[in-house]
């Protein structure tokens, strides 16, 4: 299902924390995500919470050679309604724009709909993050609307696009491919 370079998802481990903490401290990357940089101890606390949270599924994105290049999460999983939020980042800029993010998103959607039996996955993305929006559209997400939100260290209001994909949309894309 990957139209670019293939990646794999695996469980996150304690060994990944150092690399993830480096990404958490990257101003450009956190800016793209509408987030604020984290200190190492904040990264560790978030990582520990994420791995023990029964309403989240967090995975490492690795190349076929096993190199860690990003992470991807389903968070805020609402087991009754079947909703969850998706968050993804390719940490190393060298690996962006090569189809790897789309490949990881598709693999996570497969897990969401076929393994976890969720009904809907949504995400929020800054409207100026054109590459991310293109990636999500390629994976079958639709735009639902735009809101203005104060994000990041400056606290400036940014336009944020809400996007969603339903299980039925994903099944249709899978059958077609």
Ligand X SMILES: CC(C)(COP(=O)(O)OP(=O)(O)OC[C@H]1O[C@@H](n2cnc3c(N)ncnc32)[C@H](O)[C@@H]1OP(=O)(O)O)[C@@H](O)C(=O)NCCC(=O)NCCS
Beta-bridge partners for 71: 60, 89
Q: Does 4 bind ligand X (CB under 6 A)?
A: yes
Q: Which of 20, 74, 77, 100 binds ligand X (CB under 6 A)?
A: 100
Subset of residues 45 to 84 that bind ligand X, contact rule: CB under 6 A? none
- Cβ neighbours for 60, distance < 8 A, ≥ 6 positions apart: 9, 10, 11, 12, 13, 16, 68, 70, 71
Least separation in angstroms between residue 41's CB and ligand X is: 23
Least separation in angstroms between residue 105's CB and ligand X is: 7
How many Cβ atoms are within 10 Å of 161's Cβ, its own excluded?
A: 20
Q: Does 109 bind ligand X (CB under 6 A)?
A: no
d(CA 110, CA 117): 9
Handedness of CA 154, 162, 81, 168 (dihedral sign): negative
Q: Does 120 bind ligand X (CB under 6 A)?
A: no
Q: Does 18 bind ligand X (CB under 6 A)?
A: no
Give the number of residues in contact with ligand X, rule: CB under 6 A: 22
Q: What residue ranges bind ligand X (CB under 6 A)?
A: 4, 29, 32-33, 88-90, 96-102, 125, 129-132, 134-135, 138
């Amino acid at each position: 299902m990957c139209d670019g370079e293939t990646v794999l998802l695996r469980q996150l481990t304690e060994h990944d924390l150092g690399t993830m903490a480096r990404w958490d401290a990257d101003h450009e990357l956190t800016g793209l995500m509408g987030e604020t940089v984290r200190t190492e101890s904040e990264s560790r606390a978030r990582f520990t919470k994420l791995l023990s949270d029964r309403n989240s599924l967090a995975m490492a994105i690795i190349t076929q050679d096993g190199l860690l290049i990003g992470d991807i999460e389903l968070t805020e999983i609402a087991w009754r309604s079947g909703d969850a939020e998706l968050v993804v980042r390719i940490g190393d800029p060298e690996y962006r724009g090569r189809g790897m993010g789309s490949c990881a998103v598709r693999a996570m959607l497969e897990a969401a709909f076929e393994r976890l039996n969720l009904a809907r996955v949504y995400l929020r993305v800054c409207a100026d993050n054109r590459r991310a929006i293109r990636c999500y559209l390629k994976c079958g997400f639709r735009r639902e609307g735009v809101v203005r939100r104060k994000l990041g260290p400056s606290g400036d209001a940014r336009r944020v696009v809400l996007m969603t994909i339903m299980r039925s949309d994903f099944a249709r894309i899978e059958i077609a491919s």
